[in-house]
Structure 1
């Protein structure tokens, strides 16, 4: 899929709707030390940051604004609306900086912000003991983005994954496969065609949530120790 501003708008509207009835003091299980208030402040500031980057084309300092006493859903919705408008007004092929220094065009931020909203929607739901309904194709694209973007980014920051031999990730619902291979001193190489014996299998949603350490509903085949060490590594932001 190719995310559009409309995709981001729809996801942001879902987040704001759930947020309207959320407990600001609820603990966010996947983000130690964070409450829902902290989660919303983070996501709203990320939207403002991304909008400023797309507008300028270059890096900008990430804001640290706090919602204060403004209703969280209203505070968030205003920042999401601004982001969506900036994305809609931008040429997705225009040169634009991003933190991973890969695919440096404005369209990068459509994809990144869509997945940012949906992952934090999962966090918001988990803070209230609920599950999130996610679209399989979107989740498959989110898995691709994780390996394509966060792999090189983390490697550049000195984070090394424990990958001694190739490991395949298989999405049972979309038919997508991703195989990570050791590549010497570089980040793991990504192969979309081949399959190996060491595998992690699940729906695209299960794979994405596992990689981002939000859930554990996957099946491991092959060398369980090797696969387990990879999954315990830092694969995402």
Structure 2
């Protein structure tokens, strides 16, 4: 069960976008984004806005088939963005998505098969949160996110780590293998398939830190307060495979 309600996730999409918009006032859109190699700040913001519009199309049309996402990562043309134009455009896309999600019912297409619009509410929220972090890092600004929101994002990631594409044929599973995050979440790799749950348990590797940094850590963003003890090689392999879907998006 999600930690955040559907309506909270809808509201956070707009709220996180507003926080992102507040970062870019008077910012140079050509600023490189180190955590998204090859992208400028303007391209990052264009990506976020296009993601919101793409997800809104999926939900608004109640599509049960994949919807073209070529505009999301095809950013070569967006090298001369203007902050004063991107700012309201970002807000409009986020608000439209949040409104479309209100009262929406499934099933709709998702990369994991048919699901409810809640999948897209959650995915849009963390697409926005993580790219807000990217913008903050690029601009040398601080980044904070509510612990409850960060925990929801971590649990989304743990769920992705349990789909067959993440583990089949990659040597992740084995007797006694498990990962612990803050002693609050456990990923069991000892069975025929990974399974995660809230709670404690014996683990091969323990990862500890503020929950906001745990979220950044799994997404390979700077997380200086995170500490690791145990089988770091297993953790690295798990991180690589649980992020398989990010590689597919980039491709």
TM-score for both structures, normalised by structure 2: 0.79
One of 80, 83, 97 as aligned partner of 2:94 = 80
Q: Does 1:9 align with 2:7?
A: no
Q: CA deviation at 1:191?
A: 3.2
Question: Which residue matches 1:230?
Answer: 238
Contact 2:14/2:91, CA 8 A, preserved across alignment: no
Separation in structure 1 between the aligned mates of residue 44 and residue 184 of structure 2, nearest angstrom: 31
Q: CA deviation at 1:126?
A: 0.5
Contact 2:53/2:97, CA 8 A, preserved across alignment: yes
Q: CA deviation at 1:47?
A: 0.5
Question: Which residue matches 1:43?
Answer: 48
Question: Which residue matches 1:55?
Answer: 60
The verdict on how the C-alpha distance between 1:182 and 1:30 changes in structure 2, with shifts beyond 3 A counting, is farther
The verdict on how the C-alpha distance between 1:150 and 1:8 changes in structure 2, with shifts beyond 3 A counting, is farther
Question: Which residue matches 1:179?
Answer: 187
Separation in structure 2 between the aligned mates of residue 118 and residue 161 of structure 1, nearest angstrom: 31
Contact 1:100/1:150, CA 8 A, preserved across alignment: no
Separation in structure 2 between the aligned mates of residue 170 and residue 75 of structure 1, nearest angstrom: 37
Question: Which residue matches 1:199?
Answer: 206
Deviations 1:85-142 (A, max 9, x none): 2112524xx312211237x101111111111111100001001112211100110110
Separation in structure 2 between the aligned mates of residue 36 and residue 159 of structure 1, nearest angstrom: 37
Matched residue of 2:5: which SS?
coil
Contact 1:179/1:194, CA 8 A, preserved across alignment: no
Separation in structure 1 between the aligned mates of residue 171 and residue 218 of structure 2, nearest angstrom: 12
CA RMSD of aligned residues (A): 2.6
The verdict on how the C-alpha distance between 1:131 and 1:201 changes in structure 2, with shifts beyond 3 A counting, is same
Q: CA deviation at 1:161?
A: 7.3
Separation in structure 1 between the aligned mates of residue 222 and residue 229 of structure 2, nearest angstrom: 18
Unaligned runs of 5+ in 2: 247-251
Contact 1:9/1:80, CA 8 A, preserved across alignment: yes
One of 208, 213, 227 as aligned partner of 1:219 = 227
Matched residue of 2:160: which SS?
helix
